[in-house]
Amino acid sequence: MLKTLWNKWQRFGVFLARLFGHAIFAVLYVFLFAPVALIAKLTGKRFLERFETPVHTFFTPKEKIRPTLDYMRRQW
């Protein structure tokens, strides 16, 4: 008897999670993401860097680091 009750309780929990999950994300979209996107579009704000000229690669060279024991200890 307890096992069937537990299974029904779990199914009810999954149902509530799906229901409220969709509701929360819908509210986030309507009241947070959409207005920010609209304001950014109207003001011309770009959140990602844009490259003006076409380039062959987007690789940015980094300085060479000598793997010393001292360097490895400073990682954390």
CA-based nearest residue to 26, from 15, 38, 18, 37: 18
51 pLDDT tier (thresholds 50, 70, 90): low
* Residue 57 pLDDT exceeds 80: no
- Output the average pLDDT for the chain: 87
**Report field, pTM of the whole predicted structure over 0.75:** no
Can you tell me the mean pLDDT for 10-16? 94
Q: What pLDDT score does 15 carry?
A: 94
Phi, psi at residue 45, to the nearest 5°?
-75, 135
Q: What pLDDT score does 5 carry?
A: 93
Share of the chain above pLDDT 90, in %: 49
